[in-house]
Structure 1
């Protein structure tokens, strides 16, 4: 098995290759505005670092968010395109789950704790975890002040938590998702015959972009 994992749900444009037991290569660039132009070079870099060709990939794993509309779509469309071209399955994983898993590998082995990423508009995408492998409930998007009581007194990871330390308090690493952690989590789920999300976006709210209103009517002369 050779897993190609990628995620663009946060400012981290990240990709990795995993052979079911070992992380072969990983590359990440943090840039919130250039997901579209950075992702393919990042994937190309991990293929070169691992010394393999794209057609050796047997499974594609992609972070399904939640995340901002445009950046999130880049990863999902790319993953789906790879899956179609290679004829291999594409597995969706909640990005917050991958960050929680990475936090466990970084030493946060027991819960409860919170994962929060930046949702812009002074909001965060967040979820509570009983352990690095067990999420409590579904991901949500809220203003930090609205969830202060629900996240108080427990550690928090993610760039969203770091933006609001007065709410989340005990903020720890990692800040962004790692494709290496995403791949390792997916490898564990595949070995355990676990379930995955479809490769579809978890937006949790409407896109930031809006169709302009109030067009001036133009009548033919």
Structure 2
């Protein structure tokens, strides 16, 4: 692709509305050009397009300069995730640029790890890479979560899939995975719990991991990490078919669950 100045399109627009934060960023080859992270009221559908326009103008970016769009596909807020995905698909189709869907949990893990390590000296004692566990509250004792391995400054690598899990069960599963890693001689250095940790990262909740080096980092997603993940996908020649890109809900919405129960002969809960 070339822009009107006959140069390659290197810039990327990143969008993520899967959490309480509306994140928009413009990146270029691993550099952040501009970023807006609007937290607070979940009214992303009203604010997304004006914020996109602000980010493009602030970075001096036109559609002709964009080489692609990166979008967080969740998991997270059911309605929120759809907003960014729909906008990314529409803009990618209109501007004729590729679109790359990325895991919002992986972006959360990367950003949370960087935030947690900021200002700290690396503490390596011969143990293996760190583990990063992103947490987003899914109510009723559940979290959207996954497990990533961080062995450098780059994006954490996936070890366990994005899913909605009961936090109590997830902690027990992590304890079992740690035992397996210990037995294999690849125990992690530190476990980083990042994201919405106020409810799910307490000492009581993490008590089964009390003997393991772990830290909790309250962290809100920043759009840049969605952008950097999208850059990696596009640089590797990966992209999504614009009309087939869908959010990663990880569970049925309440409306879909009620519809399925109805179709199966069940009654809708009151």
TM-score grouping bracket, smaller chain normalisation? 0.7 to 0.9
Name the structure 1 match of 2:125. Answer: none
1:137-176 alignment, distance < 5 Å: 137-151=160-174, 154-159=191-196, 161-164=197-200, 165=202, 166-168=204-206, 170-173=215-218, 175-176=219-220
Give 3-state SS (helix, strand or coil) of 1:155's partner. strand
Comparing 115-124 with 60-69, greater Cα deviation is found at 115-124
Q: Of 141, 157, 174, which residue of structure 2 is paired with 1:134?
A: 157
Deviations 1:156-215, CA, capped at 9 Å, x for gaps: 0011x3322232473114x22211111122223433x16466631100111134669879
Which of 24, 45, 51 is matched with 1:15 structurally? 24
Check if 1:80 corresponds to 2:116: no
How far 1:33 moved relative to its partner?
A: 2.3
Count of matched residue positions in the alignment of Structure 1 and Structure 2: 212
Classify the secondary structure of the residue corresponding to 2:82.
Answer: helix
Deviation at 1:48, TM superposition (A): 1.9
Counterpart residue number, 2:4: none
Which is higher, the Rg of structure 1 or of structure 2?
A: 2
- Name the SS of the counterpart of 2:198 in structure 1: helix
Give the CA deviation at 1:3.
Answer: 0.2
| TM-score using structure 1 length | 0.84
Q: Which residue of 2 aligns with 1:181?
A: 225
The CA deviation string for residues 113-154 of structure 1, in whole angstroms up to 9 with x for no partner, is 211112234321000112142111211102212222234583
Asked if structure 2 preserves the Cα contact closer than 8 Å seen for 1:60 and 1:79, the reply is yes
Distance 1:151 1:18 in 2: 34
Q: Distance in 1 between matches of 2:174 and 2:44?
A: 30
CA shift, 1:45, in A, is 1.6
SS at match of 1:36: helix
What is aligned with 1:190? Answer: 234
Which residue does the alignment assign to 1:125? 144
In the superposition, relative to structure 1, how do residues 111 and 194 fare at CA in structure 2: closer, same or farther (>3 Å)? farther
Report the RMSD for the aligned CA atoms in angstroms: 2.5
Give 3-state SS (helix, strand or coil) of 1:182's partner: helix
Among 253, 256, 263, the alignment partner of 1:207 is 253
Match of 1:111 among 127, 130, 151: 130
Judge which range, 118-127 or 78-87, deviates more: 118-127
Mark the runs of 5 or more structure 2 residues left unpaired by the alignment. 1-9, 123-128, 176-189, 207-213
What are the Cα deviations for residues 57-101 of structure 1, in whole angstroms up to 9, with x where unaligned?
Answer: 220000010112111100000000000100111100011111122
Question: Does residue 44 in structure 1 map to residue 53 in structure 2?
Answer: yes
Indicate conservation of the 8 Å contact 1:6/1:179, yes or no.
Answer: yes
Provide the residue aligned with 1:218 in structure 2. Answer: none
Structure 1: gaps (5+ residues) = 216-221
CA distance in 2, matches of 1:196, 1:155: 30
